[in-house]
Amino acid sequence: MPGNSPAPRDPVTRHPQPEFPQQEQSPPGWTEPMEPRPDHGEDSYKGSGVLQGRKTVITGGDSGIGRAVALAFAREGADVLFTFLPAEEEDAAETTRLVTEAGRKAVSIACDIREEEQCRLLIDRAVREFGRIDVLVNNAAYQMSQPDGIQAITTEQFDRVLRTNLYGMFWLCKMALPHIPRGGSLINSTSVQAYKPSPHLLDYAMTKGAIVNFTQGLAQMVASDGIRVNAVAPGPVWTPLIPATMPDTTTFGRQSPLGRPAQPAEMAPAYVFLASPQASYITAEIVNATGGTPLP
């Protein structure tokens, strides 16, 4: 009946706004110490079965956007295999709990996607567990702010950023595709940085631009196989990567037109939609979730 549905929520005030407490963590960062605590949809995401029976793989599923996507996929009826770094085991256990509580199978794998052989073992494990891969979400990423310019970006940092953000994605797509049936999909995480690079994130922004290009090229390559390839481009999102890699957390996200960073829970619906049958005619697309920052 009219009038019985909940009133719309103001997107400006729906989630915490800066200023946040100044906080620092060592990479890769953890959820528990963060203030405010990130919202992954634990109390808000309600599934409707649009991914019932799907077999999904998510990199970086222990926290942040990856955890929110894992939770949403599970509540939509999907089984979830996700990766984490060994230092993130505590966060990974919480993601496992959320997926399991949704009644779906959860498989957590310690995996460094910078290594080709670990990527191969990951896909082999997914196929053993599930028999196929319906959805691969390339979400794991690394950044490190360098406000002192290009001279401060060491070869070690440059290599870590590229191998995490690009090499791992490339290897996993290549290895997973033989196991993705018609109707399956790949979803990559790019960023507002792909279009509006911040100088202090020069190498990270470069990789995110490459992900846009890769997504659109691969989508055309595999379209005739009935496989869709898309990406989500978040704006600023409140995840453990922020206190672990950014020198100032107090005003993080204030630059967006909505005046705050997104919570991970606000990103998950875009991934659900792109993985769902409702997006059957959508491929080579970038879904921008930037809080109002205009993108091409």
Is 204 part of the annotated catalytic residue set?
Answer: yes
> What is the DSSP secondary structure assignment for residue 8, as one 8-state letter?
P
User: Which residue, among 242, 250, 235, has the nearest Cα to 292 in the 3D structure?
Assistant: 235
Is the distance from CB of 36 to CB of 20 less than 8 angstroms? Answer: yes
β-sheet bridge partners, residue 108: 82
Active-site residue (options: 142, 195, 204, 271): 204
Supply the DSSP string of 112-152, one letter for each residue.
-TTSHHHHHHHHHHHHHHHSS-SEEEE--------TT-GGG
Answer yes or no: are the C-beta atoms of 91 and 62 closer than 8 Å. Answer: yes
Q: Which H, E and C letters describe 151-167, residue by residue?
A: HHCCHHHHHHHHHHHHH
Give me the active site residues, please.
Answer: 204
